[in-house]
Amino acid sequence: MLIFLLVSYVLFSISMMKLFEKAGEAGWKALVPGLNFAVMCKLVGRSPAHALWLLVPIVNIFIFVGLCIDLVRSFGYLKLRHSALAVIYAPAIFFYIGSKGDKYLGPTLKLEREYTEKIKAAIEAGKEREAQRLIQKSPYHKSATREWVEAIVFAVFAAAFIRMFLIEAYTIPTSSMEGTLKVGDFLFVSKVHYGIRTPQTIIMVPLLHNRIPGLNVESYIAKPSLPYYRLPGLQEVERYDPVVFNYPEGDSVYVFPERTYSIYDYRRGAITPQRYNQIKAGRAKLIVRPVDKKDHYIKRCIGMPGDSLQVIDRQVFLNGKPAR
Q: What is the pLDDT of residues 111-151, one digit of tens each?
A: 889 888 888 888 888 888 888 888 888 888 888 888 898 89
Is the residue at 139 inside a domain?
no
How many domains does the chain contain in total?
2
For residues 100 and 167, state if they share a domain.
no
CA–CA dist 188, 263 (Å, integer): 30
The confidence score (pLDDT) of residue 1 equals 55
Domain span at 236? 158-322
pLDDT of residue 118: 87
Q: Are residues 168 and 95 in the same domain?
A: no
Considering the domain architecture, whether residues 313 and 170 belong to the same structural domain is answered as yes
Instruction: Convert 242-283 into a string of H (helix), E (strand) and C (coil).
Output: EEEEECHHHHEEEECCCCEEEHHHHHHCCCCHHHHHHHHCCC
Distance CA 61, CA 186 (A): 29
pLDDT at position 56, please? 85
Q: Which residues of the chain have pLDDT under 70?
A: 1-2
100 lies in the same domain as 163: no
Question: How many CA atoms, within 13 angstroms, populate the side-chain half-sphere of residue 72?
Answer: 26
* Runs of H (alpha helix) within the chain: 2-22, 35-44, 59-73, 80-88, 90-99, 108-124, 128-137, 144-165, 263-268, 273-280
Tell me if 66 is assigned to some domain.
Answer: yes
Q: Does 117 fall in a domain?
A: no
Looking at residue 188, its pLDDT comes to 92
191 and 90 in one domain? no
Boundary-marking domain end, from 106, 132, 150: 106
How far, rounded to the nearest angstrom, does the alpha carbon of residue 41 sit from its chain's CA centroid? 23
